[in-house]
Structure formats: structure tokens, C-alpha cells
Amino acid sequence: MRLDQVMNQAGLGSRNQVKRLLKSCQVQVDGQVERRPNRNVDPGLQEIKVQGRILTQPAETYWLLHKPQGVLTAVTDDRFTTVIDCLAPQDQAPGLYPVGRLDRSTTGLVFLTTNGPLGYRMLHPQYHVEKEYQVVVNGPLTQDHVASFAQGILIDQNRPCAPAHLVIEASGPQESRARLTIREGKFHQVKKMFLSVGVKVTQLHRLRMGHLVLDQDLAPGAYRPLKPEELDQLKHYL
């Protein structure tokens, strides 16, 4: 949430009064004077002081979900179960949404938050947030494919993807397994990249998004709050 909105909700005055507090250097975020009213902040992650008093506003919500197959990465849908439906009613906070998309057949890590600006920044190319996937394809993979992915695969009428890191775990004539790390999020990008080199993705599972790693013991459909160290690293996007 914007800093001026947090201050306004804390009852620190009108919009003009809040602006005066900021301009007069009476506001600190994590010990540093902050004068920008549009600074994205989270009182649950940061210490916000106004005239020496710490604000105790409600924190944003952050969940890590193991998305099952067949579930839609959306807030609402008339036909399909969504990632929001996987949460208990008391955990479905207003404004909660999934950061990025996995298609219905893809499983794995989905990050959900009420912090819109933070989610936007995690998807922005400027921040180079890596997404790591476990991939199964219906044909062989070779070191030539590794080199092609590192150079940048062409998809969608020869539009280049950014260089990606492919690690082959097992290769066979009918099926291969690999891990792929990308820093983009184009529509169906992973599947299109493998189609461009002559194989089709039959299983796709997201293992990691930035510093967020899917727990091996988190069952499909289960979710958890972020750990303290994960929350601390989110400050990079605020």
C-alpha cells in the first residue's frame, strides 16, 4: 500500500496534512527518512515511524500455495476451481490475488498476496525474478538444446526469449526430464520454447519463484504463510 494511504488510515490527518508530515522529514521507513507519498510499504514487514511513533497498521497477506492440476490461476471463475478457492474462507483476504499465472494443467508454486505493487514488481523484467520448473517432454533432449536455450529460443513468429538455463536430468527417445530456469513470463512460454526445439511438454511443475521455494512436503492444494526469512527478502520489491 502507498505510504500516504497507510498514514491516512492510521488517522494522521487529511491528505494535505500527510503531505506536510512527509515534506517536513517527519516520516521514517526502517530508520530512513522517507518523503515519497507513493512509496510502497507494508507495516508488517517494515518499521514505519511518524514523529517518532511506530505505526501499527494491518499487514499485507502473503501465502505460498502448491497448485494442483486442473485448478485455475485466477481470483474467480464460474466453471473451474481457482487458487483462491483452495484457501480456507478465513484466509481469503480482500484483494488477494495470484502473482503471475500457471495454466490449468501446470502444477506447483503459486504466490498469493494482497500487495499489488509488490506483485507487479516481481513480474517486471527490471527485477529479473527467476522461475524454475521441472519439465517432462515427449522426446529426447541434448546438449544442443541446452545451448539453444542459453542463446535464446525463438517463439511467436521468431520473437526471441531471454536466455534460459536448461539442465537435463534424464533423456530418452520417448521421454526426457529437465529443469528450466527463466526470467520472463510470456503466455505459455515454457511450452512454446520446447515446441520450438521439436518436443512437447507433457508435465510442467513450478519449483521456485525468486527466493520462494516450494516445500517438498507441501501437498497439492495445501498452502502456508511465508517464513520470516522469506518475508524479509520481500522488502527488496517494496
| Residue 230: domain span | 62-125+215-236
Q: What CATH number is associated with residue 89? A: 3.30.70.580
* Pair (142, 176) in one structural domain: yes
Residues 190 and 220 in one domain: no
* Positions marked active-site: 103
Q: What is the mean pLDDT of the chain?
A: 95
Mean pLDDT of 171-181: 98
Are 157 and 112 part of one and the same domain?
no
Domain count for the chain, please give it: 3
Please check whether residues 156 and 224 belong to one and the same domain.
no
Same domain assignment for residues 226 and 197: no
The answer to whether residues 140 and 186 belong to one domain is yes
Q: How far apart are CA 225 and CA 202, in angstroms?
A: 30
Strand-by-strand arrangement of the 53-54 sheet: 32-33, 27-29, 48-50, 53-54
Please answer whether residues 41 and 205 qualify as being in contact, where contact means their C-beta atoms are separated by less than 8 angstroms.
no
**Alpha carbons 177 and 13: distance in angstroms, whole number:** 58
Look at residue 87 in the predicted model and tell me its pLDDT.
98
Does 48 lie in the same domain as 7? yes
Q: Is the pLDDT of residue 127 over 90?
A: no
106 shares its domain with 151: no
- The confidence score (pLDDT) of residue 69 equals 97
Asked if residue 187 has pLDDT above 90, the reply is no
Asked whether the predicted pLDDT for residue 167 surpasses 90, the reply is yes
The answer to whether residues 138 and 203 belong to one domain is yes
pLDDT computed for residue 93 by the predictor: 94
> What number is the average pLDDT over the span 191-202?
96
Q: Which amino acid is at 172?
A: G
